[in-house]
Structure formats: C-alpha cells, structure tokens
Structure 1
Amino acid sequence: MEDRPNSTPSTLVRRTAFPDSVSRAVVTPLQPSVVYASPSPDALDAQYEGTAKGYTYAREGHPNAEVLASKIDMLEGAEGGLIVGSGMAAVAAVLMGLLKAGDHVVGGDQLYGRSLRMLTQDLPRFGINATFADPTDAEAMAAAIRPETRLILVEVVSNPTLRVADMEGIAALARDRGVLLMVDNTFTTPIGYKPFDHGADLVIHSVTKLLAGHSDVTLGYAAARNPEHRRAIYDFATTAGMTPSPYDCWMAERGLYTFPLRFGRAEANARALADHLAQLPGVETVIYPGRRDHPDHARARSLLGGRDGNMLSFVIGGGRAEANRMIEAVPQLAFAPTLGDVGTTVSHPASSSHRALTPGAREALGMTEGFFRVSVGIEEIDLLKADFSQALGAL
C-alpha cells in the first residue's frame, strides 16, 4: 500500500496518553513503570531539587512504594518511611546509611539470625564492629557501650526465644549516652508497640511478615525520626539498588487492609494454642509472653498492654531424630522458615534461621534441637489443637 500524501504517521509505541477521568479508581493503581517522562530539563531539575513533586526512575522511588510507606508511617506514627526490597535490606540500609568505619554497634544477643550475621561477619569488613548483650537487662546493654558506640539495635520481642526487652531502660540508656536506638518491630508490630512513642530513633520492619501477611511479597520498611537520617538511609538504599517491586508494594498494601483483623485472630489462637501445648505429653517448655510462666510476663503486660502477638515457641525432649519425627507426623502444617502468614507455620531455628551458629552458641541461647517456633495463623483453633496433638503424639 502506498503512503498517502500529507498523512500523519501513527504508531502503537508510547504515544497514547493514559485516559483522563472525572471519576477515580477505588483501588490503588499498579504502576510498574521503571521510568517517568518529565516535560523539560527545568521540570526535571525541580523534581530533583524538591520544589516539584514527581517521579524519575523507579530505583529512586515509585508511587506504589510511596503509598505503602505512607500507610505504615500512619501505623507507626512516623513520617518519610522508606520501602525497600526485603526486611534485611531495611536493616542494611539503616546500618550502612548511618554508620562509618570505626563505629560500634550494641546488639541484642537474640536478634534474627541474618541480622546477627550482618553484624558479626559483614559489617566488620567495613570497619564497623558489634558487641552483643542481653536486651532484657539494660545494665548489661550499658556495660557493652564503648566510646565509639553509635547505635543500639534490639527487637522488642526476640526471635525466636520470645524474650521481652527492657525497652524503657534501653531507651533511657540510649538517650543518656547520645546513642541512636534502632528497633526491629517485625514481631511486635505497631499494634503491640510503637517504638517512636517510647524514644526510638529508627524503626524497621520485614513487611514480608505480618504486615503483608500472605507469604507472597518480599519487602522491608525503614523509618527515622531525624530528617537527615532519613536522607542518608534513602541515599544508600537508592545507590545500592534496594528497589522494591511495584507489584509487591501493591500486594502488600492490599494485605495491610486486613492486618488488624488478622493480627487479632492469630493472637487469640496463639494464646489458646500455647495453653494447649503446655498440657501435651512430650512438651518440656512453652514460651509465650501472655503466659504467667513466661520469664518476662510482667514486663510484657506493661510494655505491650496485653497484645502478646501471634508467635510462640516450645521445646520437646530429644534431638534431631525426635524433631524430624514430630514434623513428619503433620504434613498438613507448613514447616517453613517464615512467619506472619495467614496460615500457621512451624520453624526449627537449628536448621534454618540460626543454623550459622555453633550448636554450643545455640544452646547458650536456649535453642536446642528440640526447639520450635510457631507463627500462629487464623485457622479454626480446634483444627490447630488437633494438628499439634497429632504432632506430639508421634513422640
């Protein structure tokens, strides 16, 4: 076919604007675009200089991440929070964004296994060292502080031993010594505890877990009280390419809408399951902050206000053979190294999160081969009781 004279060329590629509408989408639109077009160099300058709102390149921020961050900010009483590609990316963004060679970190001695690895194996290669102390004892944390200490990192409820940190004492310590307090609030969630209300300078989450809640996204969140700290964390995360997937952000936002409902149901299940496990033959110890026999029960009451969460741990007698037998007896329960899903999952720290520690180091923290962590889901409680009765019956 001959071209018609004076006809306007047409193309399917990138020339059709998104349609305008006097109505708005009820669901947040998914924006997978990696790059955004600006009207002029001056307009692009204005975006980078902060005098105009806009997006440039997804590594530097995108709408779905911003929407999700704003909602978690609302839960945490924060502003300017940042979404990154995973919970460990959030840990790394804060530590690498704020620390320099010669700085020192005091960490709780029962942090998540990968956080421990970062502090003991990765950061020392950059001249940043760490010392660990019992977070249930503020005096022990104080004794670990050095002149070069810049930051304290704790979990409110430790993973997986569920000890409750002396947050009041640690916050006072950080304030008195001029040290930054960084809190991993993944286990506790903003329903149980809001670190910024209690003196924290920095808060992180593995959004993958309870906030998103369906084991189908991998994301992290980091927030800072100080705007200069926010900028430093953002700059490192952007440079290091810790970009979150727009699709994962969109899915996590959807999961967040049911977060309070899921948390309440799973917490009620955890309370009932902890009491059920305590009377089953073969169970040596049940660890749940809401139980009176928990070593930090009184502190949990005052600190968490009765929101004891969905996580529990328990210990059976024996070694790896007994651990295998128990798990193999309940194939319907997910044996998986995760937490916060709508369904109940069981994990074994010795073979997953804390496998990098020596057996002696694990036992010193109470994590024997018979130690299991349970992330309790929203199933019918009678079903869960039957599942765990079946599991323990195999012993």
Structure 2
Amino acid sequence: MHPLRNEALESGEARLGTRFWIFPQPPFLPGYEQPDRVWLPILRDEIGAGPSDATMYVIDPLSEKQPYGFDRLPPFDGPRRAAPKPGPDRHFDNVSPSSREFLAVHAYACVHFVLDIWQSYLGRPVRWFFEQTFPRLEIVAFVNWDNAQAGYGFLELGCSDTDGVRRPYALNFDTIAHEVGHLILLSETGVPTIVSPEADFFPFSEAFSDAVSLISFLHFGSAIDRLLRRTRGNLLLYNELNRFAETSPETQVRLATNFRRMSEVTREVHDRALPFVGAIFDTIVELYHRELVARDCADSRLLDLDLRALSQRDFDAFRAATAEAFRVKPLIFELALAAARDTVGQALASSLRTLDPTTMRLDQAATAVIAAAPGAAAEVLEANFAWREIIGRR
C-alpha cells in the first residue's frame, strides 16, 4: 500500500513562502557564526534565479565594476557570475553560506526581510521612487569598494577592509538594512527638489536608516533571545542592538547609545543625525522599561530615573534586579522589547508621508513622529527629542 500524500499540508507549506538563510549580525561576531533560517512571504514560483522577482534582482559582476553614480546607472551590462538557483524544492536554503553564490542570496533575503517589516508598519507596499524609469531594484552583490550605497534604481555592496581582512557587506545585515532605509524614505517622501542649507533631509535620512537597521534587527527571534541573554535584560549595556555596520569586533561605525545634543554636533550629515538616532534608541529602552514595570518585572522607581545620569550604584542595583527578573521571566522580557520595537517603528513609518523632503528640518521630523505615536509613547518621544535639543521644551 502506497502512503497517501497530504496535499493540504503541502499546499499549506507552499503558502508559507520561501526559505533563506540570514545572518542577523555579521558572522565574525561571537555568537552569530551560524545564520538563521527565515521564511520570506514570497511564493516559490515567484522567485527566479539570481535571486530575482517582480520588484528586484541581484547581479554579481564577473569583472571589476565601477560604483554607480550620477553619470552611471543600472542596468549593469557587463559579464556577470552565474545566477544562484533554488534547490529542487524551490527554496534557497540549499546555498552554502560559505559559497560565493551566497552573497547574492543573502543580500536578496535581507532586502526582502527589511521591506516586509516596514511595509507592515506602513500598511502598504513600498513603490520604488524610481519605478517610472526602472521597474525593479538592481542589487549588486559585490563591488571591490569600501562602501555600500543605495540610489536611483540600485543598491550595491562593497566590502570592509580591517587589518587586511576583507568582509563583504553582502553578509552584513545592518549595512543592507540601512541602505534599504534610504530607499524606503525616498519612496515614501519623494526626492528633494533642491538642497537647502537649512534643510535636514540628509541627516534625517541617515537617522531614519539607522533606526530601520536597529528595529529590523529586533525582528529576529533568535537575535532578541541572544541579546537579552547576553545582557540579562539590561539594554543599557553596549550590545548588538546599539551597534551599526560592524566591520570588526572592535570597530563601530555609529553608536545609538550616544549622548549627543544638537548644540554639540556639526553640519556633517552623519554627525548631525546622532541626536535623532539617540532619541529613538532612548525611547525604545524607556518603553521597554515601562513594559517591564507593567508586567511586574521591574521596580516602578526605574521610570523616575534619568538613565543618562545613572550613578554606578544605581546602575549596579538596576542590573542585579533586572538579571534576577530575567532569570525567572525571560519570555516577558522578549515580549516587552517587541512591544517597544513595534510602537516606535509604527510611529516612524506613519510619519513619513507628512514630511516635505525639500524643506524638512529635524524638529519637524521629530514632531511628525511624536504626532504618529500613541499617548504614552508620544510623551516619551517628546521628552527624549527635547533632551536632545531637537525640539523645544514645553
């Protein structure tokens, strides 16, 4: 007697999407040497070799390629490496993470993973701001260049070089998520028509993209679990959550846990973005603490402390109490962090279409985010933006 096929089960699995591997953090970081298997909500028959689909495709140039610029745009017309193909089951988790082909597969998976998150926050699909010229985003898996950039119709990924060790940005989720953040912002707000010296579109673009990277990272269940276990629930410690674009275990490009105010920064766009990024991180941590207090996992006095001015004694007491509560209720900590993550992500996404990219200032962007947040979260955001001198105090 032949076993019967469970067609309902098979069709149900097909509806789950397509499997990929993603490294939530660069694989040279301790604890992140192995990737996570993720399901992308794209039907297997909608993804072709490359990978490619109706909205994007990946190429890996066979020879040296110059980075794109104003006078050089996609599509790439040079020789390219063979496009990675799915396995017999039409999934892409058959591609070895140690292979060259994995650069393309990983970059594609990361872009889709981030897009899915932010389309959920937006409540609608992201329509590329360049769609009238290029119907699909071209992702370049590797360029021999120490940078990564997103622009009109493209996202291309170079590699870092730290002490002679080259690490492709195609394996760096933070970097890819940051660049996708730029594309989402331009697609939602539109492109500035002029660049005014008083406008802050580019600093806001850097801040928003760092926030996209930070919040998207928190959508990996394994990463949240590892993060909280490493810190015993204390997010005030330096950890994966507040590092961006890792290039070595010791080097950090940007830190979200900064204490910069607007009176302390220059006009350089990355520097000017730091107070805004810091306010977003502060808000996630404070909302996380509020969730812990509400769920009886932290002392209510925690909400009355200025976390930027904690004495060592207060910090040690908080760390000890948090560690004990985390030992007993680790799942509650995960739920609290996810709730804080989604509240801030939703507010950021909802604010975008109210912003004018040509005249935008950081105080206007902050006010828009506050207006898009629910009551308690709006109060926390307002206080943090005010402390950073982005908006005035009431």
Fold-level similarity (TM above 0.5): no
RCO comparison, higher one (Cα < 8 Å, 6+): 1
TM-score (norm 2): 0.25
More helix by share: 2
Structure whose CA Rg is larger? 1
More strand by share: 1
